[in-house]
Amino acid sequence: MKPVELKPGICWTGAIDWAIRDFHGYYIPKGTSYNNYLVLDDEPVLIDGVKLDFASTCIQNIEAVVPPSKIRHLIVNHIEPDHGGALSRLIELMPGVPVYCTQKGRDGLARFHDTSKWNFRVVKTGDTLNTGKKTFLFIETPMLHWPDSMMTFLREDRILFSQDGFGQHIASTQRFDDEFVACASMAELEDSVWDYYANILMPFGPVIKGKLEELGRLGVEPEMIAPAHGVIWRKEPGKVLRTYQDMAAGKTDERVVIVYDTMWGGTGRMAQPIMQGLKDEGMDCRVIKLRETPTSVAIKEFWRARGCIVGSPTLNGHIFPYVGQFLIYLRGLKPKNRIVGAFGSYGWGGVAVKEIMETFGELKLECFAETLTTNYAPALSDQAAAYEFGRKFAQAAREYHKKFS
Ligand code: FEO
């Protein structure tokens, strides 16, 4: 895709990755983009790189705007290889160019590239770069989501180059939020924002809250937010800022998701009356069988719901592996502000439900007092108990949800 102008003299020069579905294990059904930006001024500036596989595409886009040798400054907001991978190739075309990044960025880049000849300029929050008529303000954002991360605010044009923050894994010919919404919908765009946050940023809610406040203190009021993935927010930058504030504050839908797997159908047959009990209490509910669903999709559904009930059979004295994979992923994401419960089946020596609740206890989530187990296969009385379990869980989830309204 050719360069796209954000404003006169400010261009997207990145690449669209239509084919990718596995992003370091995170399933991204819509593909993604690697966004970088070129700002023309007395001294032209390139902001960020792209994934190495797309170096040639990016170079072609830059050359369509300005010869790379004319670029006078390179800002590296984030070093992860989906952005930093092509930096060596880019810097070859602009030898000696000053490279602006955080100290952690410099340290990390030295692990991915031979940086012995790179001309680093380490920056901190509040440092600026003047390129003639434009001023770039640097804002460190450590652990959003790597230690090196930072954002750059172009003051005169009020554009926040936000690296991974506010991004979405979407490959599309639309480069702006309003264009995407016209072709798809705001609900689809928002769902991609929730998906991205759930799988990449969930552990960093408190950091996000603090950084959003800091942006306000620094006078960063963007009229456009240009992330490193997905569409650029030019019509509704305030909407994605509010969505991030809401997620960091624990807001979500009043919904319960049942996440389970099953061996001979016993646990699966309990999921159905639990779902019915939830529904009959008026609770929105979704059901996910883990073996049929990418873990990252289950995580997004977890994050979009106030409550989650996890079901597992016991296999070889432990939790069922597909359920274990979900819980291991969840443990790393350190979720907060969710009410959780567990159910399952066993043949002898059932422990899966206990292990699920222990994981939830370690995560300090709101644990529903009751659990539900059945031996081998649920009898009618077990199914009736599962229905009641669903009803009571819905009541508890609704009560808990009130804390966030
Ligand atoms: Fe898109 Fe953290 O890299």
Q: What residues contact 303, with CB distance under 8 A and at least 6 apart?
A: 194, 197, 198, 202, 247, 252, 335
The whole-number pLDDT of residue 134 equals: 98
Mean pLDDT of the region 21-26: 94
- The backbone region for 216, taken as left when phi is positive above 0, alpha when psi lies in -120 to 50, beta otherwise, is alpha
Amino acid at 78: H
The whole-number pLDDT of residue 403 equals: 95
> In 3-state terms, what secondary structure has residue 314?
strand
177-186: Cβ within 8 A, 24+ apart: 177/231, 177/232, 177/233, 177/234, 177/235, 177/236, 177/240, 178/234, 178/235, 178/236, 179/231, 180/231, 181/235
- Is 196 marked active-site? yes
Closest C-alpha among 328, 327, 288 to residue 305:
288
Residue 383 corresponds to which tokens in the numbers above? 């199914």
301 touches 257 (CB < 8 A):
yes
The residue whose C-alpha atom lies closest to atom 1 belonging to ligand 1 is: 164
Domains of the chain in start order, with CATH, are 4-248 (3.60.15.10), 257-400 (3.40.50.360)
The whole-number pLDDT of residue 349 equals: 81
Catalytic residue among 73, 83, 145, 169: 145
Mean pLDDT of the region 176-203: 97
How does residue 405 score in pLDDT terms, banded at 50, 70 and 90? confident
Distance 125 CA to ligand 1 centre (A): 20
State CA 257 to chain mean position distance: 19
Residue 179 corresponds to which tokens in the numbers above? 């264009």
The whole-number pLDDT of residue 288 equals: 98
Residue 202 corresponds to which tokens in the numbers above? 């969930």
Q: What is d(CA 65, CA 42) in angstroms, rounded to the nearest whole number?
A: 14
Distance 32 CA to ligand 1 centre (A): 11
Number of continuous H segments (helices) and E segments (strands) in the chain = 13, 23
Closest C-alpha among 172, 272, 274, 160 to residue 223:
160
The residue whose C-alpha atom lies closest to atom 3 belonging to ligand 1 is: 80
How does residue 193 score in pLDDT terms, banded at 50, 70 and 90? very high
pLDDT tens-digit map of 263-290: 999 999 999 999 999 999 999 999 999 9
Amino acid at 372: L
- Is 382 marked active-site? no
The tally of CA atoms less than 13 A away on the side-chain side of residue 289 is 12
382 phi/psi in degrees, rounded to 5: -65, -40
Mean pLDDT of the region 179-188: 97
pLDDT tens-digit map of 100-146: 999 999 999 999 999 999 999 999 999 999 999 999 999 999 999 99
Mean pLDDT of the region 329-339: 97
More confident residue, 379 or 405: 379
Residue 224 corresponds to which tokens in the numbers above? 């456009």
Q: What is d(CA 185, CA 396) in angstroms, rounded to the nearest whole number?
A: 33
Q: What is d(CA 403, CA 405) in angstroms, rounded to the nearest whole number?
A: 6
Residue 52 corresponds to which tokens in the numbers above? 């190495």
Q: What is d(CA 339, CA 402) in angstroms, rounded to the nearest whole number?
A: 12
pLDDT tens-digit map of 352-403: 999 999 999 999 999 999 999 999 999 999 999 999 999 999 999 999 999 9
Tell me: cis bond preceding 24? Omega within 30 of 0 counts: no
Distance 60 CA to ligand 1 centre (A): 22
β-bridge mates for residue 357, sequence order: none
The tally of CA atoms less than 13 A away on the side-chain side of residue 332 is 12
pTM over 0.85: yes
The whole-number pLDDT of residue 311 equals: 98
- Is 318 marked active-site? no
Residue 258 corresponds to which tokens in the numbers above? 């049942």
The whole-number pLDDT of residue 175 equals: 98
How does residue 298 score in pLDDT terms, banded at 50, 70 and 90? very high
71 touches 36 (CB < 8 A):
no
Q: What is d(CA 77, CA 225) in angstroms, rounded to the nearest whole number?
A: 14
Rg (CA), the chain: 24
Residue 165 corresponds to which tokens in the numbers above? 């923050």
- Is 229 marked active-site? yes
**Looking at the predicted structure, is the pLDDT value of residue 350 above 90?**
no
Residue ranges of E strands in 62-147:
73-75, 98-101, 119-122, 128-130, 135-140
Mean pLDDT of the region 314-321: 96
Give ligand 1 pocket residues (Cβ under 6 A): 78, 80, 82-83, 145-146, 164, 228-229
The whole-number pLDDT of residue 53 equals: 98
